[in-house]
Amino acid sequence: MAEITASLVKELRERTGAGMMECKKALVENNGDVEASADWLRKTGLAKADKKASRIAAEGRIVAAQGGNVAVLVEVNSETDFVAKDANFLTFVDEVGQVALGATDVEGLRATKLASGETVEEARAAVIAKVGENLQVRRMARIESANTLAAYVHGGRIGVIVELKGGNVELARGLAMHIAAMNPPYISPAHVPADFVAREKEIALAQVKDTGKPQEILEKMISGKVSKTVNELCLTGQAYVLDTNQSVEQALKAAGAEVVNFVRLAVGEGIEKQTDDFAAEVMKQAGLA
């Protein structure tokens, strides 16, 4: 049996990021072979990842990448905001962002190799072993176009890609910031579903039908109410957050531009989140729960 020295433990710990006792155990199991011990820890990490896979991961980060005529957003989730700020997690997210342009969907991204030679999925499992939480490369959005593209991430929690015909990158980025802030579900009234408009007309009619006004006045009132609601939902009808003296539509017309497409991702949207009290979260981080 090879002597398990402190320098060997230190070397393995720096290489893998695993705990001191785990590194010592790995070296004992592998007769002091650092390479084999690193693989052993990876395998252990994969086992830990499997055990944590059912746990809800609704925190995390959005990362963006852009190059040539492609822009992507990727959402990587953790269980807690505490781990979402951890250096190991943030490094992993950055590495995923660096290779995301080479993937067309999230399944392909998980199989993509990082600079280290690991796949994204393998690296994910290794980070799980370090941070002790379930992590997920949950989804990605990708726009490929010869039109102007801009990707924007706000605070690591909201990401937007805008595809703009005409205009310039500065305008596209400004619109991405607007979409991050205002979250419009549609580009323009032409994109609003007909059944939504019909439902809004029914609601508006119920609100004004007993006013005793003539039919032509009622129709104008209904039209005005529906138009106001639709405009508030549409990107083009909203006041532009970078210049509230004009609407987005006016800003686009002034630049001779048109929004062709946009996508917005927010961390954890659509995930049913588990509610933990603060004490329980601290106990979880300390390994006591």
Q: What pLDDT digit, counting tens, does each position of 173-188 carry?
A: 999 999 999 999 999 9
Give mean pLDDT, residues 119-132: 91
Q: What is the pTM of this model?
A: 0.73
Q: What pLDDT digit, counting tens, does each position of 226-252 carry?
A: 888 888 889 999 999 999 999 999 999
Are 91 and 134 part of one and the same domain? yes
Q: What percent of the chain has pLDDT over 90?
A: 55
| pLDDT greater at residue 99 or residue 17 | 99
Give mean pLDDT, residues 48-62: 69
The pLDDT confidence band at residue 47, using thresholds 50, 70 and 90, is very low
The reply to whether 202 falls in a domain is no
Are 44 and 113 part of one and the same domain? no
Look up residue 14 and give its amino acid. Answer: E
Q: For position 271, what pLDDT does the model report?
A: 78
Could you tell me which residues are beta bridge partners of residue 264?
Answer: 160
Are 102 and 113 part of one and the same domain? yes
Q: Indicate if the pLDDT at residue 270 is higher than 50.
A: yes
The reply to whether 11 falls in a domain is yes
The reply to whether 112 falls in a domain is yes
Residue 40 maps to which CATH number? 1.10.8.10
Q: Indicate if the pLDDT at residue 16 is higher than 90.
A: no
Q: Which residue range is the domain that position 28 belongs to?
A: 6-52
Domains held by the chain: number: 2
CB distance 30 to 40 below 8 Å:
yes
Give the whole-angstrom CA distance, residue 73 versus residue 65.
7
Sign of CA dihedral 82, 138, 264, 150: positive
Where among 92, 121, 144 does a domain terminate?
144
Residue 99 maps to which CATH number? 3.30.479.20
DSSP state of 240: P
Q: For position 284, what pLDDT does the model report?
A: 57
Residue 289's CB: how many other CB atoms inside 10 A?
11
Strands of the sheet containing 148-154, edge to edge, are 148-154, 158-165, 258-266
Computed over every residue of the chain, the mean pLDDT equals 86
